[in-house]
Structure 1
Amino acid sequence: MVSARIVRIGVGVVAGVATLAGIAGVALHFWRWDVEPLVLAASAAPYLMCGAVVGAAGFAGIKQWVAVGVAGIVVAAGLATQAPLYFADGGGEGPAIMAMQANLLFDGADPVVLVNEVRARDIAVLTVNELTRPAVDDLGRAGLDALLPYRYLAPGQTASGTGIWSRYPLSDTVEYDGYVLNQISAIATVPEVGPVTVYAFHPVPPIYDTRVWADELSRLRQVLDGAPADRPVLVGGDFNATHDHARFRAIASGRYADAAAQAGAGHLVTYPTDKSIPPLVGIDHFLLADAHATNVETVDLPGADHRALVARIVFPAR
């Protein structure tokens, strides 16, 4: 028969390991150096932080109160990093549009389903990643161009293509040089709002090359810093980074805010959807400047490896 002392030791070991996992999660959230294994591990930071809850419960069960206090501090630190995602920060009234961000997995996403979602959700602006020329044709045949007649597209082979579709006229189109995948922008003239700068971004994933990933995120922030200050900005993209990557939080700062955080939408996991496990990480985002999201949610896209994002975005009246 297992003695109570052995059980106590076992519980203490498990609680200690779980608390260390929580400490690692908090540390990864704040980690700022571009070391590939740690950058990849940061995607799992929220799950690691949950270990501290297990640790606190385990230590409480064996009445190790000092250890309970340590684990409790880790729990509090983890909550401080994640709780802001769950509390909407308000926002004023004004003209509103619906926007969608979708990664198509080349031409894998079902075009009819995507177009039906655009129609049903009254989408006015759509940003797309991994857009191929066959996908452009398939979406057109499915009726996307009738719903969103204005477009600026930079299709490519496999993952490189990017596009913007809009209900509203587009002008001042730009494709930004020096990136592995296509990064584009256009000005949409939105009724009752005026010009809105729309960006569609897709930096490389860190597994491609962590230094390139970090450099592209940094340069995309510089692109955003160059956006005219006298008009709202809407950014949609697969950023290949989560809220727990310091590089992403550096982009979603200052003038720019993560739409999901504005809306209090919590952790919106979007990837991967083509595996036997459910999606685990949220790497698709909307960023907004001089605008506010009141609701953000995910949408399943059969054939893709990402969920799409849909956001209701409120602009200040002109």
Structure 2
Amino acid sequence: MGNAGAGRVRVVRAPKTRGLLPLVLAGALLAALPHLDFAASRSLAVLQALLPVLCLAALALGPVLAYRRAWIPATVLLGCTALSLAPVLQPVAGGACGPGEPVTVLSLNAGRGHADPSIIAAAIIASAPDVLVLVEASEPMLQALATALPQWHYTNRTGPVVTGGAVDTVILSKHPMHSEAPAARQSAGSLFDVPVAAIDHPRAGRIRVAGIHPVPPTHGPDSWAGTLATAERWTGQNTDLPLVLAGDFNATRAHPGFRALAHGFSDASPAFGPLAAATWPANGAVPAFAAIDHVLVRGLGIMDSSRIAVEGTDHLGIVAKLSSCR
């Protein structure tokens, strides 16, 4: 008597988990990325700066996995992406006080003095800033900028800048001001100087401004982290006046060191809803993807902000319209 089941082969399908583990690990890394701060690491800082790009890639991959009915990997990846974005969402700009007298700040990385003075002059004419914070500036560029304007109102300033060195940040004001001790000094070549000025606005009162420009983490991760930490301690020791931190921080909200420095401040930098508007790299084939330029304020209201494009620099500038608190 023959076997009725002879010739039949039972196919046992393995569960579709082969690709799950790598996606889970990638998702876990993505979710943890903005929290990692165990050491000053060049590679880690770069990965954190690339977080918007990584999240976009994950968001693009999620629907593809869902279309292929890989529901678990798609859910894991999208969930980890949401966890990754949560700590870096920029609070909606707004003042913590009633609007008083207007105060406008223009901040720009001038690309080692190569930013086009005529375009900066046009931005100054359009926005009429009270304060200019220029990093990577040069004395020839400042002279050309003064010549490009019908009238040069920014005669009050911090000291001379040394292009290509650590002291290349300058604060200029159309109102009386006096320089204070830097918030961070160069220490054996490891810290970029952070100039500070107290500005006597005729209507808004005295405001303290610090120009921020740490060395990029790709060049000196220890110096970069040290400058952010030193500036954070300094802000905690200087609470007597409204405070503006403006410049090229070489850091985004994905960097824990920046979030620590920005704690207690409102971010007047441009944003698209809860996402910070990117400012670098500009004027190139690749669209800007990293928001490393900021205007942080404490004790001031925020009215509006916008980005400006200037030829000769790979950064977008920021015009922040602030107000004193009533």
Deviates more, 1:242-251 or 1:159-168: 159-168
Deviation at 1:89, TM superposition (A): 4.8
Classify 1:55/1:173 alpha carbon distance in 2 versus 1 (closer, same or farther; 3 Å): same
Q: Aligned partners of 1:292 and 1:24: how far apart in 2?
A: 37
Q: Aligned partners of 1:294 and 1:310: how far apart in 2?
A: 11
Classify 1:200/1:71 alpha carbon distance in 2 versus 1 (closer, same or farther; 3 Å): same
Secondary structure of the structure 2 residue equivalent to 1:95: strand
Contact 2:52–2:289 (CA<8 Å) still a contact in 1?
no
Classify 1:202/1:295 alpha carbon distance in 2 versus 1 (closer, same or farther; 3 Å): same
Larger Rg: 2
Q: Aligned partners of 2:165 and 2:111: how far apart in 1?
A: 7
Structure 1 residue aligned with 2:37 = 32
Structure 1 residue aligned with 2:13 = none
Secondary structure of the structure 1 residue equivalent to 2:152: helix
Q: Aligned partners of 1:235 and 1:144: how far apart in 2?
A: 29
Q: Aligned partners of 1:21 and 1:296: how far apart in 2?
A: 36
Deviation at 1:215, TM superposition (A): 1.1
Secondary structure of the structure 1 residue equivalent to 2:223: helix
Which one of the candidate residues 102, 127, 147 is aligned to 2:133?
A: 127
Q: Does 1:271 pair with 2:277?
A: no
Contact 1:181–1:203 (CA<8 Å) still a contact in 2?
yes
Q: Aligned partners of 1:239 and 1:277: how far apart in 2?
A: 21
Which one of the candidate residues 100, 110, 135 is aligned to 2:116?
A: 110
Deviation at 1:281, TM superposition (A): 1.1
Q: Does 1:292 pair with 2:301?
A: yes
TM-score by length of 1: 0.85
Q: Does 1:239 pair with 2:246?
A: no
Secondary structure of the structure 2 residue equivalent to 1:60: helix
Classify 1:29/1:72 alpha carbon distance in 2 versus 1 (closer, same or farther; 3 Å): same
Q: Deviations over 1:142-178 (max 9, x none)?
A: 2387232322233103253111111211024334532
Classify 1:90/1:264 alpha carbon distance in 2 versus 1 (closer, same or farther; 3 Å): farther
Classify 1:62/1:276 alpha carbon distance in 2 versus 1 (closer, same or farther; 3 Å): closer
- Residue correspondence of structure 1 range 203-214 to structure 2 within 5 A: 203-214=214-225
Q: Does 1:310 pair with 2:319?
A: yes
**Structure 1 ranges of 4+ moved more than 4 A:** 15-22, 261-265
Q: Does 1:177 pair with 2:177?
A: no
Classify 1:262/1:192 alpha carbon distance in 2 versus 1 (closer, same or farther; 3 Å): farther
Query: In structure 1, what residue type is equivalent to 2:212?
Result: F
Q: Aligned partners of 2:273 and 2:58: how far apart in 1?
A: 24
Which one of the candidate residues 202, 206, 217 is aligned to 2:228?
A: 217
Classify 1:28/1:193 alpha carbon distance in 2 versus 1 (closer, same or farther; 3 Å): same
Structure 2 residue aligned with 1:101 = 107
Deviates more, 1:291-300 or 1:138-147: 138-147
Deviates more, 1:138-147 or 1:93-102: 138-147
TM-score by length of 2: 0.83
Q: Aligned partners of 1:298 and 1:20: how far apart in 2?
A: 37
Structure 2 residue aligned with 1:63 = 69
Deviation at 1:276, TM superposition (A): 2.5
Q: Aligned partners of 2:28 and 2:165: how far apart in 1?
A: 35
Contact 1:265–1:296 (CA<8 Å) still a contact in 2?
no
Higher helix proportion (structure 1 or 2):
1
Deviation at 1:137, TM superposition (A): 1.8
Contact 2:23–2:77 (CA<8 Å) still a contact in 1?
no
Q: Does 1:252 pair with 2:262?
A: yes
Which one of the candidate residues 209, 213, 229 is aligned to 1:198?
A: 209
Structure 2 residue aligned with 1:163 = 170
Deviation at 1:16, TM superposition (A): 7.6
Contact 1:98–1:122 (CA<8 Å) still a contact in 2?
yes
What are structure 2's unaligned runs of at least 5 residues? 1-15
Q: Aligned partners of 2:234 and 2:240: how far apart in 1?
A: 16
Deviation at 1:23, TM superposition (A): 3.8
Which one of the candidate residues 133, 158, 170 is aligned to 1:152?
A: 158
What are structure 1's unaligned runs of at least 5 residues? 1-8
Q: CA RMSD in A?
A: 2.8
Q: Aligned partners of 2:105 and 2:22: how far apart in 1?
A: 43
Contact 2:94–2:303 (CA<8 Å) still a contact in 1?
no
